[in-house]
């Protein structure tokens, strides 16, 4: 699997200045190339390189490969949108490849600047040192809060996928509980909701002030909130995937792509739904599962919270409250999120080919008794 990891560069002041000057010059060249491309309505990489290669090298003092990467960056941007002329920020990413960037051992990188190559120490954060033979394609040099980072594309080996799972781990995503499994394990969103409300209140106060300092502070806390969400989702997804792997099960998730809270949802709940990264959590579960060989199945999300996991009866009135589920048909009662997770697991079981599950995994009510999705 190809993953992008963020590696911090530990530059000296001289190296920092050299890289910054190189980045600014590279993006100046991109803007010049974009001007020519827009004026001539010529956006193809090969054509632009033929017209501008020698001129850009002489005008901006860039190496041959940096000119090639600058032309490529401009051309790729116009593949997305040709309705307006594109401009590039002075501290936009610089694309490197194996011709002008080399990983040296476990903790150093040789990178080209306007003043030649420089050897810069680097740290991987939570990642273990990488085998340089696993680094693929280009790497982007980015500049963030006065620090340089490399975004490396790495080929991570995957474990052999489970061919015959012993069951399915259903996962229900929510607000009060960010994730709930059909095993009854719940990942509470209480702390996350408290953090979200605290940041929201602080942002509102800073926005009302409107000063330069307030805007700077607002930007800083937005990044903190984003890091908190990402770290929380990483922790939850890791535990879920390790549970599935350890019990030789597949994972079932609701297919929530493109679903937005409707107008009937209260404003506070819409805010909570909109501000928690549910899609990110699902994507973390998916890629971690792929690395560990755990199959992931997406199922129809409709009525999972209103349907009884025992008899299949669907009604809005089954959901007594956020946490309480009581079936009006058979009287079954349990935590509403756990009931929903069981429904997700059961839907995945009946929707998958025989190769994914054995016949004894499907509960009795699903044999010849289709799920009623018309009511509720």
Q: CA of 318: how far to CAs of 304, 336, 349, 362, in Å? A: 11, 9, 23, 23
Is 197's pLDDT higher than 90?
no
Residue 348 vs residue 135, higher pLDDT: 348
Confidence category of residue 132, pLDDT binned at 50, 70, 90: low
- Give the per-residue pLDDT at 264: 42
Residue 356 vs residue 316, higher pLDDT: 316
Give the start-end residues of each E strand in the chain.
Answer: 2-9, 94-96, 101-104, 108-113, 116-123, 139-144, 147-155, 168-173, 177-181, 186-188, 250-254, 296-299, 324-326, 333-335
Most confident of 23-37, 141-155, 262-276: 23-37
Q: Is residue 375 part of a domain?
A: no
- Give the per-residue pLDDT at 275: 45
Domain count, the chain: 2
- Give the per-residue pLDDT at 352: 60
Nearest Cα residue to 344 out of 258, 256, 261, 278? 256
Q: Is residue 111 part of a domain?
A: yes
Q: CA of 311: how far to CAs of 182, 193, 333, 372, in Å? A: 16, 34, 12, 10
Is 238's pLDDT higher than 50?
yes
| Together in a domain, 151 and 177 | no
Q: Examine the fold and report which residue of 102, 124, 155 is the final residue of a domain before the chain moves on.
A: 155
Average pLDDT of span 2-26: 93
Residues in the chain, overall count: 376
Most confident of 16-30, 216-230, 346-360: 16-30
Q: Is residue 42 part of a domain?
A: yes
Confidence category of residue 44, pLDDT binned at 50, 70, 90: very high
Is 374's pLDDT higher than 80?
no
* CATH code where residue 266 lies: 3.30.420
Cβ-Cβ contacts under 8 Å for 17 (sequence gap 6 or more) = none
- Percentage of the chain modeled with pLDDT above 90: 54
Average pLDDT of span 97-111: 87
Which residue range(s) make up the domain with 12?
Answer: 2-155
- Give the per-residue pLDDT at 8: 92
Is 208's pLDDT higher than 80?
yes
| Together in a domain, 70 and 215 | no
Q: Examine the fold and report which residue of 103, 134, 155 is the final residue of a domain before the chain moves on.
A: 155
Average pLDDT of span 12-21: 96
pTM exceeds 0.75, yes or no:
no
| Together in a domain, 11 and 137 | yes
The pLDDT tens digits of the residues spanning 319-345 come to 988 889 999 999 999 999 999 999 999
CA angle 250, 363, 368 (to 5 degrees): 115
| Together in a domain, 104 and 192 | no
Q: Is residue 203 part of a domain?
A: yes
Is 76's pLDDT higher than 50?
yes
Cβ-Cβ contacts under 8 Å for 246 (sequence gap 6 or more) = none
Please give the structure tokens belonging to residue 234.
């990483």
- Give the per-residue pLDDT at 4: 83
Classify each residue of 232-257 as buried b or exposed e, where b means 16 or more C-beta atoms within 10 Å of its C-beta. Answer: bbeebbeebbebbbeeebbbbbbeee
Confidence category of residue 189, pLDDT binned at 50, 70, 90: confident
The pLDDT tens digits of the residues spanning 220-233 come to 787 788 888 888 89
| Together in a domain, 196 and 143 | no
- Give the per-residue pLDDT at 125: 62
Residue 156 vs residue 252, higher pLDDT: 252
| Together in a domain, 119 and 222 | no
- Give the per-residue pLDDT at 355: 42
| Together in a domain, 181 and 285 | yes
Q: Are 135 and 145 contacting, i.e. CB atoms less than 8 angstroms apart?
A: no
Q: Is residue 162 part of a domain?
A: no
Helix/strand/coil (H, E, C) string of 57-107? Answer: HHHHCCCHHHHHHHHHHHHHHHHHCCCCCCCCCCCCCEEECCCCEEEECCC
| Together in a domain, 310 and 357 | yes
| Cα dihedral 43/46/52/56 (nearest 10) | 100
Average pLDDT of span 233-243: 94
Q: Is residue 161 part of a domain?
A: no
| Together in a domain, 175 and 211 | yes
Residue 98 vs residue 374, higher pLDDT: 98
Q: Is residue 242 part of a domain?
A: yes
- Percentage of the chain modeled with pLDDT above 70: 84
| Together in a domain, 208 and 147 | no
Distance of CA 176 to the CA centre of its chain: 22
Nearest Cα residue to 288 out of 158, 182, 136? 158
The pLDDT tens digits of the residues spanning 259-302 come to 554 444 445 445 544 545 678 899 999 999 999 999 999 998 88
| Together in a domain, 200 and 313 | yes
| Together in a domain, 255 and 281 | yes
The residues facing 152 across adjacent strands are 5
Q: Are 145 and 233 contacting, i.e. CB atoms less than 8 angstroms apart?
A: no
Q: Is residue 376 part of a domain?
A: no
Q: Examine the fold and report which residue of 124, 155, 186 is the final residue of a domain before the chain moves on.
A: 155
Is 95's pLDDT higher than 70?
yes
């Amino acid at each position: 699997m190809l993953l992008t990891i963020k590696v911090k560069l530990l530059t000296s002041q001289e190296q920092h200045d050299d890289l910054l000057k190189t980045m600014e010059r590279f993006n100046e060249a991109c803007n010049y190339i974009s001007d020519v491309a827009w004026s001539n309505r010529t956006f193809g990489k090969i054509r632009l390189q033929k017209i501008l290669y020698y001129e850009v090298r002489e005008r901006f003092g860039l190496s041959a490969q940096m000119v090639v990467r600058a032309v490529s960056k401009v051309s790729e941007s116009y593949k997305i949108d040709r309705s307006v002329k594109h401009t590039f920020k002075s501290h936009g990413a610089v694309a490197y490849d194996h011709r002008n960037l080399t990983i040296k051992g476990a903790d150093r990188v040789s990178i080209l600047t306007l003043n030649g190559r420089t050897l810069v120490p680097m740290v991987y954060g939570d990642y273990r040192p990488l085998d340089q033979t696993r680094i693929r394609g280009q790497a982007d040099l980015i500049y963030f809060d006065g620090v340089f980072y490399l975004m490396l594309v790495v080929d991570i080996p995957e474990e052999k996928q489970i061919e015959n799972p012993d069951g399915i781990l259903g996962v229900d995503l929510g607000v009060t509980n960010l994730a709930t499994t059909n095993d009854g394990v719940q990942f509470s969103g209480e702390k996350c909701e408290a953090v979200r409300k605290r940041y929201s209140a602080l942002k509102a106060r800073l926005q009302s002030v409107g000063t330069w300092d307030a805007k700077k502070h607002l930007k800083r806390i937005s990044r903190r909130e984003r890091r908190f969400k990402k770290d929380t989702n990483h922790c939850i997804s890791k535990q879920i995937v390790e549970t599935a792997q350890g019990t030789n099960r597949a994972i079932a998730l609701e297919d929530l792509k493109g679903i937005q809270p409707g107008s009937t949802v209260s404003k506070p709940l819409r805010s909570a739904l909109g501000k928690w990264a549910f899609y990110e959590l699902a994507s973390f579960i998916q890629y971690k599962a792929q690395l560990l060989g755990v199959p992931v199945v997406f199922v129809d999300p409709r009525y999972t919270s209103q349907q009884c996991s025992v008899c299949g009866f669907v009604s809005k009135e089954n959901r007594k409250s956020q946490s309480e589920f009581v079936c009006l048909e058979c009287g079954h009662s349990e935590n509403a999120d756990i009931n929903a997770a069981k429904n997700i697991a059961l839907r995945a079981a009946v929707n998958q080919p025989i190769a994914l599950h054995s016949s004894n995994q499907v509960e009795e009510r699903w044999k010849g008794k289709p799920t009623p999705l018309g009511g509720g």
